[in-house]
């Protein structure tokens, strides 16, 4: 029965949009590109979320101008270069348990992206490449390419966003896109320039950064977005079994100081276990409670995110009372940001915690080259395996203009089981040995419960 839902939902998307096709202004992302009205035009509807300045938001670029902009194309360049100083000093320079950075004690290019947005009266598209550490770290966290041929991890490795679609002038805009697009489950954006901190807490770091499939964006008003997803799965290039993933997002900004976001997802996302269903809800509130250029600080805001989810079937259950061990997720993160000297400097304090029995969302440590598909006996993800963790961070930003951020951050992270790389590292002495993640005779990784580190980064967006 699950197989019949996907084509029906896709047909419903197109049928809905076909009834409302009117020529008017396109919408790029969540904002409209206005054009002067002609005599044949009616009064254009207000552009979504254009009634106030939302550059203060977590996960949102803080720019109000573009370096390269034209009638049909708005260009974009991004650079994220960082140095991670891990107090554990792992001998193999490997950082564990994060999707934002992978090596320590070195200067690395985490992300270099070139692309932009294409737009006409109706057609729209976006392409962003990804080079650097992201091109390796993002695919290794997706187990779906191990099913079938034509290596999907290599096919999509250097792409972070690639979609095209069509815009209809219904309500305040309707967009239908197909391709790879950002998920924004977990509030933090995929690109660190857009965030208040470099290392997000577990709620964000362990949930999807992208989806591959169809996205229907509807804007019933300039303050509300309702978005539907029909995707291959939970941050996956392909399907794990025979069923797609389904989801939706509701974004409401009643004023320039409040943003309320809810993401909800349902899918079957265990490789080779077709009967194990996953449900997840992700909810965020952001509030700007001070904006006074002459005060000290001159601006202040906080963000609160709460996530909950579970898996059921295939030997596990949501409650642990019947059907197998409990497999669930519960977490939160809270950040408070202060801006100073007319937004030249910013200070962010934050952190969060999670509990995840079954470890189904815990990022697999890259022990002996382990990936999400390979697993490893050194850190199991079996039903009933316990994992709880918490973290805290202090972030200082220097922002000389709207295109560059110099960031310095201290992070403390703690887990209930040994998880973070210790001085001995997670790589065998002779390098990765045998199959990825496999056991190596007379060797074991050095895993610790605690990690302290300093992140220094230069972040550029043009």
For the stretch 134-161, pLDDT in tens is 999 999 999 999 999 999 999 999 999 9
Provide the pLDDT confidence category of residue 67 given band limits of 50, 70 and 90: confident
**Counts for the chain of helices (H) and strands (E), in that order:** 4, 20
> Does residue 418 form part of some domain?
yes
Position 320 scores a pLDDT of 87
> Does residue 319 form part of some domain?
yes
Residue % of the chain over a pLDDT of 70: 91
7 to each of 3, 104, 273, 381, how far by Cα in Å? 8, 46, 22, 33
- Is 70 exceeded by the pLDDT of residue 4? no
> Does residue 133 form part of some domain?
yes
- Is 60 exceeded by the pLDDT of residue 177? yes
| Domain total in the chain | 1
What does the mean pLDDT of the chain come to?
90
Q: What are the tokens at 214?
A: 């169809």
| pLDDT higher at 7 or 381 | 381
**CATH assignment at residue 289:** 2.40.160.10
* Collapsed DSSP state (helix, strand, coil) of residue 316: strand
Q: What are the tokens at 150?
A: 């034509």
Provide the pLDDT confidence category of residue 29 given band limits of 50, 70 and 90: very low
Residue % of the chain over a pLDDT of 90: 85
Position 14 scores a pLDDT of 36
371 to each of 136, 273, 274, 275, 368, how far by Cα in Å? 11, 18, 21, 23, 9
* Collapsed DSSP state (helix, strand, coil) of residue 308: strand
Position 19 scores a pLDDT of 36
Please state, in angstroms and rounded to a whole number, the distance separating the CA atoms of residues 101 and 453: 12
**Angle subtended at Cα 355 by Cα 353 and Cα 360, rounded to the nearest 5 degrees:** 120
Among the ranges given (35-44, 134-143, 278-287), the one the predictor scored with the smallest mean pLDDT = 35-44
Please state, in angstroms and rounded to a whole number, the distance separating the CA atoms of residues 182 and 400: 28
DSSP string, 361-406: TSPPP-GGG--TTT--TTS---TT---EEEEEEEEEEEEEETTEEE
> Does residue 247 form part of some domain?
yes
> Does residue 149 form part of some domain?
yes
Task: Give all strands (DSSP E) within 158-233, no chain letters.
Answer: 159-168, 174-182, 210-221, 224-231
Quote the radius of gyration of the chain (alpha carbons, Å).
Answer: 22
223 to each of 45, 207, 228, 376, how far by Cα in Å? 12, 26, 17, 46
| φ, ψ for residue 367, nearest 5 deg | -70, 120
**Boundaries of domain holding 118:** 2-34+45-461
- Is 70 exceeded by the pLDDT of residue 11? no
Provide the pLDDT confidence category of residue 42 given band limits of 50, 70 and 90: low
| C-beta of residue 159 within 8 angstroms of C-beta of residue 130 | yes
For the stretch 351-390, pLDDT in tens is 999 999 999 999 999 999 999 999 999 999 999 999 999 9
pTM of the model: 0.88
| φ, ψ for residue 48, nearest 5 deg | -60, 130
Tell me the mean pLDDT in the region 338-363: 96
For the stretch 102-139, pLDDT in tens is 899 999 999 999 999 999 989 999 999 999 999 999 99
* Collapsed DSSP state (helix, strand, coil) of residue 161: strand
Q: What are the tokens at 369?
A: 């080259």
| C-beta of residue 405 within 8 angstroms of C-beta of residue 459 | yes
Half-sphere exposure of 34 (CA within 13 A, CB side): 10
> Does residue 40 form part of some domain?
no
């Amino acid at each position: 029965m699950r197989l019949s839902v996907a084509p029906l939902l896709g047909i419903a998307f197109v049928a809905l949009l076909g009834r409302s096709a009117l020529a008017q202004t396109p919408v790029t992302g969540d904002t409209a590109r206005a054009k002067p009205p002609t005599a044949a035009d009616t009064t254009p509807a207000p552009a979504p979320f254009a009634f106030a300045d939302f550059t203060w938001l977590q996960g949102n670029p803080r720019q109000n101008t573009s370096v390269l902009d034209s009638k049909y194309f708005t260009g974009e360049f991004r650079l994220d270069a960082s140095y991670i100083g891990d107090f554990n000093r792992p001998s193999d320079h490997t950082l564990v348990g994060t999707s934002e950075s992978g090596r320590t004690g070195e200067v690395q290019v985490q992300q270099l992206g070139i692309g932009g947005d294409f737009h006409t009266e109706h057609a729209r598209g976006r392409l962003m490449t990804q080079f650097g550490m992201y091109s390796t770290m993002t695919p290794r966290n997706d187990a779906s390419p191990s099913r079938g041929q034509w290596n999907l991890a290599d096919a999509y490795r250097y792409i972070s966003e690639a979609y095209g679609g069509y815009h209809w002038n219904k309500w305040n805009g309707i967009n239908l896109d197909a391709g790879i697009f950002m998920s924004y489950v977990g509030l933090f954006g995929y690109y660190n320039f857009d965030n208040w901190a470099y290392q997000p807490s577990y709620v964000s770091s362990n949930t999807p950064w992208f989806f591959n499939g169809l996205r229907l964006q509807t804007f019933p008003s300039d303050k509300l977005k309702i978005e539907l997803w029909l995707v291959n799965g939970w941050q996956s290039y392909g399907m794990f079994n025979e069923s797609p993933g389904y989801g939706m997002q509701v974004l409401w900004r009643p004023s320039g100081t409040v943003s309320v976001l809810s993401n909800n997802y349902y899918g079957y996302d265990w490789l080779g276990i077709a009967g194990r269903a996953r449900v997840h809800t992700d909810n965020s509130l952001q509030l700007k409670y001070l904006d006074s250029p002459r005060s000290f600080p001159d601006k202040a805001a906080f963000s609160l995110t709460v996530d909950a989810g579970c898996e059921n079937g295939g030997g596990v259950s949501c409650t642990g009372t019947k059907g197998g061990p409990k497999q669930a997720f519960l977490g939160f993160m809270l950040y408070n940001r202060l801006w100073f000297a007319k937004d030249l400097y910013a200070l962010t304090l934050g952190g969060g915690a999670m509990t995840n029995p079954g470890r189904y969302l815990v990022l697999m440590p890259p022990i002996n080259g382990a990936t999400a598909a390979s697993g490893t006996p050194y850190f199991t993800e079996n039903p009933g395996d316990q994992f709880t963790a918490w973290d805290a961070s202090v972030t200082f930003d220097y922002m000389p203009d709207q295109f560059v951020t110099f960031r310095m951050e201290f992070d403390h992270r703690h887990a209930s089981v040994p998880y973070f790389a210790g001085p001995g590292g997670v790589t065998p002495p002779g390098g990765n040995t045998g199959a990825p993640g496999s056991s190596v005779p007379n060797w074991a990784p050095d895993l610790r419960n605690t990690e302290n580190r300093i992140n220094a980064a230069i972040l550029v967006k043009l």
